[in-house]
């Protein structure tokens, strides 16, 4: 009888506990998906909102797919899969813009460098007005993950191919409070190679994104 009981207990130990949908949601997105840019191509809704919970406070961005469909889709997939969580605002230029979008984990970020992750351009349909959000580029068809929010109207960016895909609809005062004392001193190559380890050690006062979430 004892032998039977022992076998039963051992068998029970092999059965994994059931994981509810609520538990899965609480665990957050599957970050392994971020290592495959080619797989993150879900089409975004016509409009959607993203809530940014940051160390400076909360702000909301409303994205319009008709403004820049490729950019809107890329941003949707990045936010949905947790790319911007724990990202630093590494370039903050008062009177111009604030930039973010290099992942704090160099392993994840490495998959978003180079031609394989590049996004082809959208035609510029909206001007770079105050509060508008736009992908950064290094030239034609080089958008990847970095974006910036305009602190003021910057129409000179329009002719350079910078295509806004959304705007801050609430909390622009929070955006304007993002710590700017480091300006553009953080070295982007160092961020790419060493991520938040480099930024926390060299620029510990940078504001950052706690969570960015798609709003239902």
* pLDDT grade for 28, boundaries at 50, 70 and 90: low
Tally: H helices and E strands in the chain: 6, 8
d(CA 167, CA 151): 11
DSSP per-residue codes, 28-92:
---GGGGG-GGG--PPPPSEEEEEEEETTEEEEEEEETTT-HHHHHHHHHHHHTTTTTT-BEEEE
User: Residue 135: which residues within 8 A CB-CB, separation 6 or more?
Assistant: 71, 74, 75, 119, 143, 144, 146, 147, 162, 163, 165
Which tokens sit at 210? 């706690």
Host H or E run for residue 133: strand 132-135
Give CATH for domain 43-215: 2.40.100.10
* Residue 156, SS3 per DSSP: helix
Question: b vs e for 113-136, b when ≥16 Cβ sit within 10 Å of the residue's Cβ?
Answer: eeeebbbebbebebebebbbbbbb
In this model, does residue 174 exceed pLDDT 60? yes
Task: Kindly compute the dihedral angle of the four CA atoms of residues 127, 161, 190, 152, in this order, to the nearest 10 degrees.
Answer: -20
* pLDDT grade for 29, boundaries at 50, 70 and 90: low
In this model, does residue 9 exceed pLDDT 80? no
pTM, two decimals, is 0.87
Query: What's the confidence (pLDDT) of residue 8?
Result: 39
Please state whether 196 falls in left (phi above 0), alpha (psi between -120 and 50) or beta.
Answer: alpha
Query: What's the confidence (pLDDT) of residue 115?
Result: 83
Task: Count CB neighbours of 98 within 10 A.
Answer: 22
Residue 125, phi then psi, degrees to nearest 5: -105, -20
* pLDDT grade for 6, boundaries at 50, 70 and 90: very low
Query: What's the confidence (pLDDT) of residue 18?
Result: 54
Once rounded to an integer, what is the mean pLDDT over residues 86-95?
98
């Amino acid at each position: 009888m004892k032998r039977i009981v022992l076998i039963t207990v051992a068998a029970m130990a092999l059965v994994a506990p059931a994981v509810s949908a609520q538990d899965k949601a609480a665990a957050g997105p599957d970050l392994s998906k971020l290592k495959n840019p080619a797989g993150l191509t879900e089409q975004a809704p016509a409009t959607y909102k993203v809530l940014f919970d940051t160390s400076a406070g909360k702000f909301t961005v409303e994205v319009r797919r008709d403004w820049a469909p490729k950019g809107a889709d890329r941003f949707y997939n990045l936010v949905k899969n947790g790319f911007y969580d724990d990202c630093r605002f590494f370039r903050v230029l008062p009177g111009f813009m604030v930039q973010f979008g290099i992942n704090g984990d160099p392993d994840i970020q490495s998959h978003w460098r180079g031609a394989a992750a590049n996004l082809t351009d959208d035609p510029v349909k909206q001007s770079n007005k105050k509060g508008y959000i736009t992908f950064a580029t290094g030239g034609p068809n080089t958008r990847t993950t970095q974006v910036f929010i305009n602190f003021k109207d910057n129409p000179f960016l329009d002719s350079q191919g910078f295509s806004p895909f959304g705007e801050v609809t609430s909390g622009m005062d929070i955006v304007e409070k993002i710590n700017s004392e480091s300006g553009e001193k953080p070295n982007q190559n160092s961020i790419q190679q060493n991520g938040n380890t480099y930024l926390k050690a060299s620029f510990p006062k940078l504001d950052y994104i706690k969570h960015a979430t798609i709003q239902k």
